[in-house]
């Protein structure tokens, strides 16, 4: 009987103990988590993006014109007890995706690992971080004609009401910037 009481008490205490370990994870009070005070200061660079936005995602077609915009919900939250950031896109066309964003203090850069519901291996990744009022990430990628360059992801016009994002191929000397995907987001109309 005594052993059963000890087991019952232990089972009641474990959830409280575990919840105290992960104070910065997603909770009812903080549905998008919080930055951990022990995490690198750079983790706070994503603070203006944390939460949900209603967005319009527009991709360039093979003929060079822009496709019709696709409705999208883009959600950012702190994960790993406030040491990293995850985002998820849910698109009306069913092409969902997301990223895990971790800051590497030794390299002083963000590592952004992209995944989608059309899996690719290995996962593509970008590096970068805050540049003034923008967040910019890039990775080496040749253009379809073989020209060397990078594919750059850029968050800009970041405010309390939303933000804009553009994905573009950029030549090595930055004389050519060719956007192929753009997203405009607003917090209006999205429930918490």
Q: For the chain, what is the radius of gyration of the CA atoms?
A: 20
Spans of all domains in the chain: 2-186
Report the candidate in 168, 97, 96, 46 with the shortest Cα–Cα distance to residue 36: 46
Q: Kindly tell me if the per-residue pLDDT of 13 is higher than 60.
A: no
Report the candidate in 80, 92, 10, 6 with the shortest Cα–Cα distance to residue 55: 92
Query: Tell me, which fold does domain 2-186 have in CATH?
Result: Lipocalin (2.40.128)
What value does the mean pLDDT take over residues 92-104?
A: 95
From CA 46, how far away is CA 50, in angstroms rounded? 6
Burial class (CB in 10 A: 0-12, 13-18, 19+), 30: middle
- Three-state DSSP at 44 gives helix
Q: Note the pLDDT tens digit of each residue in 58-76.
A: 999 999 999 999 999 999 9
What pLDDT does residue 111 have?
96
Report the candidate in 109, 69, 111 with the shortest Cα–Cα distance to residue 91: 69
Tokens of 92: 């009306």
> Does the reported pTM lie above 0.75?
yes
Q: Could you tell me which residues come within 8 angstroms of residue 124 by beta carbon, excluding any fewer than 6 positions away?
A: 113, 114, 139
Burial class (CB in 10 A: 0-12, 13-18, 19+), 16: exposed
pLDDT band at 10 (very low <50, low <70, confident <90, very high): very low
From CA 115, how far away is CA 112, in angstroms rounded? 10
């Amino acid at each position: 009987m005594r052993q059963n009481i000890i087991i019952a008490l232990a089972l009641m205490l474990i959830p409280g103990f575990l919840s105290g370990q992960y104070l910065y994870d997603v909770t009812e009070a903080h549905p998008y988590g919080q930055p951990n005070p022990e995490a690198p200061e750079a983790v706070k660079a994503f603070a203006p993006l944390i939460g949900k936005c209603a967005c319009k995602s527009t991709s360039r077609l093979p003929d060079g014109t822009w496709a019709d915009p696709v409705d999208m919900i883009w959600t950012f939250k702190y994960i790993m007890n406030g040491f990293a950031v995850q985002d998820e896109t849910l698109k009306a066309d069913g092409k969902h995706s997301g990223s895990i964003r971790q800051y590497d203090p030794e390299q002083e850069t963000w590592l952004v690992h992209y995944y989608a519901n059309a899996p690719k291996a290995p996962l593509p990744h970008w590096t970068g971080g805050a540049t003034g009022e923008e967040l910019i990430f890039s990775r080496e990628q040749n253009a379809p004609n073989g020209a060397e360059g990078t594919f750059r992801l850029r968050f800009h016009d970041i405010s309390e009401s939303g933000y804009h994002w553009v994905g573009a191929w950029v030549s090595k000397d930055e004389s050519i910037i060719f956007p192929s995907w753009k997203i405009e987001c607003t917090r209006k109309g999205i429930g918490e």
